Amino acid sequence: MIPEDLRYTAEHEWVAGGDGGAVRVGITHFAQDALGDIVFVQLPDEGAVVAAGEPLGEIESTKSVSEIYAPLSGTVAARNEALADTPEVINTDPYGAGWLLEITPDDPAAVEGLLTAGAYRELTES
């Protein structure tokens, strides 16, 4: 269950978009499955500046607390406010309603440098 039209990070985030505007970011099915039942999400505020590879928030599950890493450097354009009340939607729809935030990248071309679906599949199968 790895959508072909997205880009991925080795930290199990996905990125949608990359046409020069904001990109949408979430965690992969693989990540939510490993975490188990998600009970809380902490995300940066709109307008926050994030750096690629640096922690930008946390996801808490019944098993553990895991950091969320910025897939790209840029500015947070939006965050999924619905997750405050229903964080478990990440478990049921990680590529849809369970998105985390939108980032306006400093360098829109950086999206192309992320993993393709095939490369991410190889990472998760090894």
CATH number for the domain spanning 55: value is: 2.40.50.100
Taking the C-alpha atoms of residue 78 and residue 80, their distance in angstroms, rounded to an integer, is 7
Using 50, 70 and 90 to split pLDDT, how confident is the model at 6?
very high
Please report where in the chains the tokens 């046409």 appear, as a residue: 19
Establish if 1 belongs to a structural domain: no
Please report where in the chains the tokens 């306006």 appear, as a residue: 104
Alpha helix segments (H runs only) across 8-88:
29-35
What was the pLDDT predicted at 83? 98
Domain that holds residue 59: 7-121
Percent with pLDDT over 90 in the chain:
95
Please give the radius of gyration of the chain, using alpha carbons only, rounded to the nearest integer: 13
What was the pLDDT predicted at 120? 98
pTM metric for this prediction: 0.95
User: Strands, E, within 1-126: which ranges?
Assistant: 7-8, 13-16, 23-27, 38-42, 49-50, 55-61, 65-69, 74-79, 101-105
What was the pLDDT predicted at 13? 97
Q: What is the pLDDT of residues 28-85, one digit of tens each?
A: 999 999 999 999 999 999 999 999 999 999 999 999 999 999 999 999 999 999 999 9
